[in-house]
Chain A
Amino acid sequence: SQTIHQWPATLVQPVGSPLSLECTVEGTSNPNLYWYRQAAGRGLQLLFYSVGIGQISSEVPQNLSASRPQDRQFILSSKKLLLSDSGFYLCAWSVTGGKRTQYFGPGTRLLVL
């Protein structure tokens, strides 16, 4: 069966510090991968998605970036965090084609102080 992992689970970072969040998927090949951000009590904002290794599409301009160095690994990064980067970061995967149901990881709660 497929599983999706995210780490760390929680993170407190000072403004201006770098960020690296990691997401890995097991039990499937060539998944579509997604990064979302959810502000407290709000909906899901799609940040990036990837349909293959090295292929990243950005949905919103910001100081975040994403990379996919391996088929089942998706990384969210920032060189300098802003206060507004605080939120709940969710990684998700879906099969290529088909129903495209998305399966979410447990998320990372980021607080920028």
Chain B
Amino acid sequence: GQQVMQIPQYQHVQEGEDFTTYCNSSTTLSNIQWYKQRPGGHPVFLIQLVKSGEVKKQKRLTFQFGEAKKNSSLHITATQTTDVGTYFCAGSNDYKLSFGAGTTVTVRA
């Protein structure tokens, strides 16, 4: 079955620095979605990428979908304490989403 792998599992970032989390699928995806889960909360949808090579930005967050539609990345610039949480990518091919294990981000002030 479809597997989505996400690295790194943990990301410790100094406030103000940039970081990137990566997502790779074993199969070609129809689309990829990103979610954020704050500590103690539930996952909240951030964005969806559909087209090959697509890039979307949300303020300091940049999302990219690979040309082969098998990988994606999330880059955060100038990390803030509000960025703390776990970021999940999820690949879609049918009714279901296959979630990566998530990247848990902590920020040093």
Contacts and interface: CB of A to CB of B under 8 A. Distances in A.
Interface stretch (B54-62, B70-78, B100-108): B100-108
Instruction: Provide the main secondary structure of the chain A interface.
Output: loop
Interface of B: 31, 33, 41-45, 48, 88, 90, 92, 95-102, 104
Interface residues of A, number: 20
A104 interface: yes
Contacts of A41: 104
Contacts of B45: 101-103
Residue from A42, A44, A99, A102 whose CB has the most chain B CB atoms within 10 Å: A44
Interface string A48-67: 01010000000100000000
A46 B102 contact: no
Contacts of A103: 45
